[in-house]
Amino acid sequence: MNENKLTSLVNEMTMDEKIAQLTQLATPFFKGAGDGGQITGPMADMGITDEMIRNTGSVLGASGAKDVKNIQRKHLEDSRLGIPLLVMSDIVHGYKTIFPVPLAIGCSWDLELAEKSAEIAAKEASVSGVHVTFAPMVDLVRDPRWGRVMESTGEDPHLNSEFARAFVRGFQGNDLTNETDRVAACVKHFAAYGAPEGGRDYNTVDMSERELREYYLPAYQAALDEGCEMVMTAFNTVLGIPATGNRKLMRTILREGMGFDGVLISDWGAVKEMIPHGVAEDEKEAALKALTAGVDIEMMTASYMKYLGILVEEGQLEESLIDEAVLRILTLKEKLGLFENPYRGADEELEKEVVMSAAHRVAARELAVKSAVLLKNEGVLPLEKNQKVALIGPFAESGDILGPWSWLGSKADAVTMKAGLLQKIDPAQLTVSKGSDIEMITEEQIKDAVEAAKDADVIVLALGEDSDMSGEAGCRADIKLLPAQLELIQRIRELGKPTVSVLFNGRPLDLHGVWDQTDAVLEAWYPGTEGGAAVADLLYGDRNPSGRLTMSFPYSAGQIPVYYNHYNTGRPKGAPDAQERYVSQYLDTPNSPLLPFGFGLSYTEFTYNSMKLTKETITCDDTLEVSVNVTNSGKVSGEEVVQLYIRDMSGEVVRPLKELKDFAKISLEPGETKEVTFTLTEEQLRYHHSDLTFTSDPGTFIAYVGGSSKKIIEKSFTLVK
C-alpha cells in the first residue's frame, strides 16, 4: 500500500476512527487474550467504551503467538476498515531469554554482542506476536541514585551513541517488511530523562539547551540515524515544559532539527500528567498541548479520545494535525507488512523452538561473561577447582538475577550462583548458606553461615539489591548495600578467610563495607538467565574478566553526580599553584570516584607504550592517526579495552577534562603486543558553542590513550583553521 493509498484510507476514516488510532490501550481491554475484556482498578475508570476499543490503533503488553493472533483476529472482525493493531511491549534486555541489563551490556564494550542480544530478543518477541519494542533507552546517566540507570549504557555520550546504533540494528535488521523476525525499535525517553534532580524518578530536569544538545541528544540522534522507527516522550520537564507537551522539543528539535518523521508515543499516562505538572488545567488542554507538540499516540490515558474531536469542532485544533499523526501510524503498520499479513511473525509452533533456545542461552551466557567487571582482586581470584568453597548470601540460591524490565523472564529458568558453581566443582566441595535476607538478618542466619564457612578454603559472598530496588521508581538515597548484608560481611570477615564478594545490582554502589572488608569484588550486575554460569566461568578463571565500567562508582553518595568528563573549574584541586583550602574540594571525602569510567581488572596485566601521532598539527581537511602498542605482560590470555580520549585545552566555552572519542577491544596472548591505531578528524573536535553552533576551535588538544579514563598516556597536537 503506497502513500497515496494510505492517505486515501485516512480520508475514509471518521473523526472517531482517526482519534482511536492515536490511542494505545493495555491488553486487558481486548477480547481474544487470556485476560481480555477483564477491566478492573484504574483501567475501569478511564471511561473507555467498546466503540473506542474497536477502533484503537495499538495494544500495549500483548504477547504469545496464540493470544496475539486471537486479539488481532477479533479486532479485524470488528474494524470497519480492516486496520490492524500494532502490538507493542517492553522488550528491553531480552524477551524470555534474559540478557544482562543494559548498563551491564555497556560494560562489555562489545557492540557486536549488544547487537546480537537485541536480534535474539527480536526473534523471540516477533515469533510471539510483538511488533514494536520500547527500547533502546539511551538516556545519559550520571546519578546512580536513579533506579533506571540500569536501563542505560552509562555516562558517556559517544559510547551511548554507539550502543544505541547497535541495539537498533539488532532489533530492526535491514528490512522490517520482509524480515518478520525483527521488530521496530522505539528509542526513549526523549529527552534527558536520565538527569532528574536528586536522582528521583519523574523529577524535574533543568539544564541549558547547550548542555542538552552537547551531552544528552547525541545518543537519540544516533538511534534515529540508524533508522529507529519510533520515539517515546520522557516524563520530565525540558526547558521548563513537560516533554510530552513541549512543542519546541518535539517539533523544532526532534522533527525539524534531528530529522525524525516517524511515530512519537507518550510514556504511560504522560499526557494526562501535564495536569499535575501544572501546564494543563484539564485533560482537554493536555490533549491539545500533546497533539500540537507532535505526540502521535497517547499511551494509557483517554484525553485524545475524549477531547480531540471537540477541540476540532471548536476550532482550537486543526484536523490536519490529527491526519498527519494517523498517517505516520498507518505508515509504520504498512512498513511492518501488517496490512498484507496482520499476524506477521506470530507462529505458535515456531515459538516453541525459538523462545529460550539453547543457542540463545549460549549467547546470554557469553554476554554475561563479557559484562561483568572485576573491581578488586588481592590474589584470591581465580579460584582453584580443588578448593572447598562456602557460598553465602541472599543471592546464593536466588533466581532474582534477571533485573528489572525482564518481563517474561522467569526466575525459575535462571542459573543461580549455586548451580553455576556446581558446574565447576564436586558438590562435596561446596557448602551453601543464605546468611541473611536482602534487608534482614538474624543470629540464626549468622550462625548457619559461620557453620557453612567453618571448613572452607575460600568464602564467596553473593550480595546485592533485590530487583525491585532498581529500575523504574527504584530510586535510593543511600546506595550502600543494606545494613543486613554489611553486617553479614563483617561477621564473615571475622573468620579470617579469603573472601570474594559477587554483587548483583542495577547501579554503581557506594562500596563502603564491601571494598574494605573483602579481598576481591566482582560486579556481576543483573546478569540474566545464564548469570550463575557466567559468574562461575569468571570465578574459576575459565574466562578472564574483560568488562570495563561505563558509569563511575562514587566514593560516597555525597559526591553525586560524579562522572569522568567533568569541567576543571577555576580552582581545581591539585593544580601546581593551588592553595591548600580554597580550591574546589570536599573537606571530608575525595573529589574523585572510587572507581572511574573505563576501569576494570583482568587476571593479566596490560602495558601501554610507544604512543605516536602521525602529525603534530592538523587542519580541517586532515586526519590524525593515534597509535599505541599494547602488550599482555601477564601469564594468561585476556581482552583489553583500549580507550582514546581528547581534551580541548581552550574553547569558547569550558571543555571537559577528557572526552571519549573511540575505543577498541583486543585479545592478546601472554607476551603478545599489538599496535592499535585510531583516526581522529576535525569533526570529532567539534562541540556546541554558546550560540548553539556546532564547530571546532583552533588551538591545542591532548590525545590520551589507556585502559581507563585515569590510566592513560598522552601526546598533544594543534588544530589550525
Which residues, at least 6 apart from 314, have a Cβ–Cβ distance to it below 8 Å?
none
Instruction: State the sign of the Cα–Cα–Cα–Cα dihedral 500, 505, 509, 513.
Output: negative
Rounded distance between C-alpha atoms, residue 277 and residue 447, angstroms: 52
Count of CB atoms within 10 A of residue 66's CB? 16
Cβ atoms of 266 and 220 within 8 Å: the answer is no
Q: How far apart are the first and last CA of the chain?
A: 51
Cβ atoms of 550 and 156 within 8 Å: the answer is yes
Paired with 391 in beta bridges are 432, 460
Rounded distance between C-alpha atoms, residue 185 and residue 314, angstroms: 36
Which residues, at least 6 apart from 428, have a Cβ–Cβ distance to it below 8 Å?
none
User: Which among 703, 696, 618 has a CA at the least distance from the CA of 652?
Assistant: 696
Rounded distance between C-alpha atoms, residue 270 and residue 235, angstroms: 6
110 as an active site residue: the answer is: no
Amino acid, single-letter form, for residue 131: H
Active-site annotation holder among 90, 110, 267, 697: 267
Rounded distance between C-alpha atoms, residue 582 and residue 594, angstroms: 23
Using N-to-C axis directions, what is the helix angle for 303-313 and 319-335, rounded to 10°?
140
Cα 168–Cα 173–Cα 177 angle in degrees, nearest 5: 120
| DSSP symbol at 208 | -
User: Which among 651, 641, 634, 645 has a CA at the least distance from the CA of 693?
Assistant: 651
Residue 431: strand, helix, or coil: strand
Q: Which run of H or of E encompasses 464? A: strand 458-464
Instruction: State the sign of the Cα–Cα–Cα–Cα dihedral 548, 550, 551, 552.
Output: positive
What residues act catalytically? 267
